[in-house]
Amino acid sequence: MVDFNAGFGRQSNFYYGSQGGLYGPRPTLISDYDLLFGGTPYGENPLLDDSYSADFMYSRSNGDDDGGSSWWDWGKWILGGAAALVGASFAFGDKNPGFLGKIRDGIKGIWNKFFGSDDSSVGHRDEYSYPPQEITDAQRKTAKENGTDSLSFTRPVAGGRISSHHGMREHPIEGGLKMHNGDDIAVGKGTPVNVTADGIVVDVQDEDKGKYGRYIDVLHYDKKEGIYYLTRYAHLDKTDVTIDQEVKQGDVIGKSGDSGAVTGEHLHYEIHKGDAEGVDFKTIDPKLNDA
């Protein structure tokens, strides 16, 4: 018996007869070295013998090898299919909210759970902070007094389709994969915007500046959970409320528009879940649907 080592960590055992033929069990393994160079570091490759070439090809075609390459082949197919499915879920999830939409939402949920959005903590103190202005103790007290036993949010506008969901997305202006902290609702300029729960207005930007343009922040309190929430209504054409104004669910607080960094007219709506002190807020998915 002669032992051929192909140099790639794989062993092949072959039996030689007096004519240089191959006897014994059909070889179950051959290396890339054997196939490419017709030999091994120990000598000529006996598998190139014509009488056994057909038999060898039969062995390979029927999977009579150690399966090492098969696992890699299967892995490539699985990874390629998964990548294609993920790409399709983000490309067509809005048009197919069933299967593809659920895959997309699941991926976003996992991403947000482990990575979240660094833009959404109070400590940053810029237009992406929540809230960008300090909430006063008086505002927290008012929100708590006007809170509901079980807070629920209604839709901020009547009609309109969801043009972009909460979660990671390709930024339409800056490019690159970035966190989108809310839902975009495609509605025409001047559409009435309703506050989605009882609360108190804690910030109003009535000038068209920054990425959000004109926006309104409202503080809410959930008595059952014992925590604060904050909602933001952005890219407005007009604001109709003032800071410290108390509002009831359904009240018109402004008009939708295209202020700030936008590609078209729409309302950008965000919900931020806070803590018991009303200090630390993190973005959550509004989970709006098309009207």
Taking the domains of the chain in order of start, what are their residue ranges?
2-61, 119-284
Is 192 in contact with 157 (CB distance < 8 Å)?
yes
What integer pLDDT is reported at residue 227 of this predicted model? 96
As its CATH architecture, domain 119-284 has: Distorted Sandwich (2.70)
Number of neighbouring beta carbons within 10 Å of residue 211: 16
The span from the first CA to the last CA of the chain, in angstroms, equals: 77
Q: Which of 121-125, 160-164, 216-220 has the lowest mean pLDDT?
A: 121-125
- Give every CB contact of residue 132 below 8 A, 6+ residues apart in sequence: 125, 126, 203, 217
pLDDT bucket at 181, cuts 50 / 70 / 90: confident
With bands split at pLDDT 50, 70 and 90, how would you rate the model's confidence at 150?
Answer: confident
- How far apart, in whole angstroms, are the C-alpha atoms of residue 236 and residue 255? 6
Whether the per-residue pLDDT at 61 is higher than 80: the answer is no
Higher pLDDT, 17 or 291: 291
Whats the size of the chain, residue-wise? 291
Band the pLDDT of 93: cuts 50, 70, 90.
low
pTM (predicted TM-score): 0.57
Tell me the pLDDT tens digit for each residue of 165-175.
Answer: 888 877 777 77
